[in-house]
Amino acid sequence: MRLRLPEDLPGCGRVLAAVRAADGYPSRWPADTAAWLTPPGLDAAWLAEHTGMIAGHVGMVLGVDDPVVSALTGAPPERLASLTRLFVAPIARSRKLGASLLDTAQAYAATRGLQLMLDVVNDGGPAIALYERFGWRVVDHRVAGWATPEGRRLPVLVYIAPDGAPPAVP
């Protein structure tokens, strides 16, 4: 695991294209992958590498204004952070890279006293299984604020990180 650098963005875009071909994520392909991987409020992003190549990615956005999560956790917007853009290359799966990316982000958040949250399309896919396996808890069901190319607004689940949970990867 390492921090993402600006020069990593083209490689991240290639991995994202492979994920899109395999899984349909993201539901709406961005016109500019580098901009999509660097959303407003991005505080940090990390990469997983496998055999010297970029194999996974996760980002963290700070200053999230989510009244539901704030009310449930007591975290004001300046202490609320959202994990975003988590993906692992299809050829690198089953190597615990998704769990390692979660661990890295959770450790970073813990050192800064941040409450982590995330949202994910409610499709019953492997991302949901990963979050739940490592103790993330669903706190809300919503409709996405964005639409697919077909104009559909998909159902999403909102999760919060486990309190005091042990790392996902030993």
Summarised one tens digit per residue, pLDDT across range 123-149 is 878 889 889 998 999 999 999 988 888
H or E element, residue 142 = strand 137-143
Which CATH number belongs to the domain containing residue 68 in this structure?
3.40.630.30
**Does residue 165 lie within any of the structural domains?**
no
DSSP 78: G
**Does residue 168 lie within any of the structural domains?**
no
- Residues 44-100: tens digit of each pLDDT: 999 999 999 999 999 999 999 999 999 999 999 999 999 999 999 999 988 899 999
**Does residue 39 lie within any of the structural domains?**
yes
Residue with tokens 């009310």: 71
What pTM value is reported for the model?
A: 0.90
* Residues 6 or more apart in contact with residue 168 via CB below 8 angstroms: 96, 99, 100, 102, 103, 106, 133, 134
**Does residue 37 lie within any of the structural domains?**
yes
The residue segments making up the domain with residue 91 are: 2-160
Domain tally, the chain? 1
